[in-house]
Structure 1
């Protein structure tokens, strides 16, 4: 059943039940014109885990963009915008997609030294909408304490 057909069926059901239509909220996946631009905010890794365990926990948040595990052309028409993140480390030729929307990228087992992580917002069709680079240093951790 299409979205429009579902909406009409729901409205008919509500009218039959005597519920005013204006009392219902719009579905969360209807196209909206003139939507604000998506924005990605990325912070530096949390200092505690980085210093103590060499674990880079990089907090992020998005505005006007939701991180969801949806892919393909039909998923590009939802609103608010939805997609996933592309994550690259140190300019390597490979990357991964994060569709979990956890609010943090967690990196472990990076060798000591300076690292650069590129985090990009991508549409369900992998079109990059913008990104941020985070640079940080993984310290040498004394393995005797672990």
Structure 2
């Protein structure tokens, strides 16, 4: 009986210690949520890989994988979206330094290009704010091989 009482007493002390730690961790102003801006939030990053080898060499299709850190790709535009945390925005994509580009707000994790002529190409992928301010970017350079039986 004394062992049971002692075990229950130790369990109560442990529970009280855990409850106190949780209460201290959740004091006002210390809880972080994705719905409010976080001070000192890490900078967003864009990481772009080279196109996947197999689709490029066999079909001439450039599938360029990318991922972001501390940044979500969403179809949200305008100044109201700038205070969301983690940061949100979209991609700007430019092929071969042409004077036009397009926005990608799908967040699929890959840019897919088909129908590029055989030869060297470069694709600039940038992460941008909902107001189109460029945060950062990376370029993927690759060569589309001449594939017999395909017309470009």
TM-score (norm 1): 0.80
2:132 is aligned with 1:126: yes
Q: Deviation at 1:26?
A: 5.9
| Match runs of 1:1-146 below 5 Å | 27-143=33-149
Bigger CA radius of gyration: 2
Which whole-Å deviations, capped at 9, do the CAs of 1:93-142 have from their partners, x for residues lacking one?
Answer: 10000000000000000000000100000000000000001100000011
Which whole-Å deviations, capped at 9, do the CAs of 1:60-108 have from their partners, x for residues lacking one?
Answer: 0000111011000000110000100000000001000000000000000
Q: Distance in 1 between matches of 2:48 and 2:37?
A: 27
Contact between 2:73 and 2:90, CA under 8 Å: does it hold in 1?
yes
Which whole-Å deviations, capped at 9, do the CAs of 1:39-64 have from their partners, x for residues lacking one?
Answer: 11000000000011000000000001
Counterpart secondary structure, 2:97:
coil
Equivalent position of 1:15 in the other structure = none
Name stretches of at least 5 consecutive residues in structure 1 with no aligned partner: 1-21
Q: Distance in 2 between matches of 1:124 and 1:130?
A: 14
Contact between 2:32 and 2:38, CA under 8 Å: does it hold in 1?
no
4+ runs deviating over 6 angstroms: none
Q: Distance in 2 between matches of 1:120 and 1:30?
A: 25
Contact between 2:77 and 2:131, CA under 8 Å: does it hold in 1?
yes
Aligned residues: 122
Q: CA RMSD in A?
A: 1.6
Which whole-Å deviations, capped at 9, do the CAs of 1:10-36 have from their partners, x for residues lacking one?
Answer: xxxxxxxxxxxx6xx865221111100
Q: Distance in 2 between matches of 1:99 and 1:29?
A: 20
Q: Distance in 2 between matches of 1:81 and 1:105?
A: 21
